[in-house]
Amino acid sequence: MNVKEAVSMILEQGISKYKIAKVMSMQPIMVDKFIQGKQKTIRREAADNIMKVWGIEINDNCINGFTTEDFKKKHQTEMYIDEDDNTLNI
């Protein structure tokens, strides 16, 4: 299911836009953007939270980015300080 369909389904259950936004850790204006189709992708953490709370799974092609832990691992392994010239390498 895409993000617009998922948010619409949750709203039909009588859940407020504010509650949806808080579960997704987003600002309430984002719920309107999902409904209007202006925003078509969602963070992995937000999609996981929707799954945990309402049991609605978002299609993988609608999810962008990494989880917070994946992001930290990726960037912690790729960034280092070169001791020879004291520069940050990314």
Q: In this predicted structure, what is the pLDDT of residue 64?
A: 78
Return mean pLDDT, the chain: 84
Q: For the chain, what percent of residues have pLDDT higher than 90?
A: 54
Please provide the distance, in angstroms rounded to a whole number, between the alpha carbons at the two ends of the chain: 36
| Region 68-86 average pLDDT | 63
pLDDT class of 59 with cuts at 50, 70, 90? confident
Q: Is pLDDT of 8 > 60?
A: yes
On the CB side of 15, CA atoms within 13 Å amount to: 19
Query: What's residue 49's pLDDT?
Result: 95
